[in-house]
Amino acid sequence: MLAAYFLYCSACSVILPVRGDITRVTIATNAMVMAGLLLLGYAEGLRHSRLLNVMRDWYPLPLMLLSYREMGWLAPHTHTYRLEQGWVAWDRVLLNQWGLRSLVEAAGAAGPSLLEICYSLVYAIAPFCMGWLYARRKMERMDAFVTVFLTGILSAYALFPFFPSEPPRTVFPNEDLPRVFTVFRRFNLALVGGYGIHMSVFPSAHVSGAFSAAFGMKEILPEEPWVWRGLLLLAAGIATATVYGRYHYAVDAAAGFGISLAAWMVARRIKSRAR
């Protein structure tokens, strides 16, 4: 999965109009990434060391950040905002006519704060799931979980070049924003403002990754249903927060959920083959 994605990024850097040395940097970086992955796999298979096994398990996590940043390297120079103009109309129906914003803010700052906390917790989902598998001594299921989770994350990233777009909070400043501003929102805005990319927001990798983790744990750890049920509730909160907080459009969240369903099919396939 990782090798396929980074090969895809390298190909995109050749095909797409990119700045200066981006193509050479992308290809060189990805070659080192794949070399490290192959080296860890070979060494672990040769030595059967617990330490090497753990290193191989956790190797993909920092690569998820790199895979996201690489898409930023390939961002177009300008955006037409054609897609965003159509997407925001559906958001306004959801937020205003159907009352999503009023529903979230019905109890004052409690609802917006809860959603912003959910949005922040997306970065802790993978470490939590992997740590839980270690704690429950289910390490043999680690590969299955990581594969499902990466399917949800990387599939979303791979679609970015086809839907160049910017988030609604920047394309439509001061429009459709939450009426309640919390410290948790200030934290999230600082995070996405400093580490966001200008490639695409469709599909939402926040949503696809969160739901993929929940569905993956459902298949991989069925004997502890509270884990995947809790993750499913968190994923629903994240999906709602992306739209309410104007981090994404509703279509981004819907597409992210669709990708997570595909990742769930991967989980079921892995489980079937294991049997």
pLDDT in tens, 69-121: 999 999 888 889 999 999 999 999 999 999 999 999 999 999 999 999 999 99
The answer, yes or no, to whether residue 123 has pLDDT greater than 70, is: yes
C-alpha–C-alpha distance, residues 42 and 40, integer Å: 5
Domain locations along the chain? 1-74, 81-274
The percent of residues above 70 in pLDDT, for the chain, comes to: 99
Structure confidence by residue, pLDDT tens digits, 227-252: 999 999 999 999 999 999 999 999 99
Which of 149-158, 222-231, 255-264, 266-275 shows the lowest per-residue confidence on average (mean pLDDT)?
Answer: 266-275
- pLDDT of 37 reads 86
What does pTM read for this prediction?
0.93
Q: Are 84 and 171 in contact (CB under 8 A)?
A: yes
Return the structure tokens found at 234.
């968190």
Most distant CA atoms of the chain, gap in Å:
61
C-alpha–C-alpha distance, residues 32 and 34, integer Å: 6
- pLDDT of 254 reads 97
- pLDDT of 274 reads 67
Return the structure tokens found at 98.
């159907």
Q: How many CB atoms lie within 10 A of CB 86?
A: 11
Residue of 118, 246, 117, 112 whose CA lies nearest to 181: 112
Helices 250-274, 225-244: crossing angle, 10 deg rounding:
160
Mean pLDDT to the nearest integer, 132-158 = 92
Is omega for the bond preceding 112 within 30 degrees of 0, making it cis? no
Q: In b/e form, how buried is each residue of 140-158, taking b as 16+ CB within 10 angstroms?
A: ebbebbbbbbbbbbbbbbb
What torsion, rounded to 10 degrees, do the Cα atoms 212, 213, 215, 220 define? 130
| Residue at token pair 């949800």 | 152
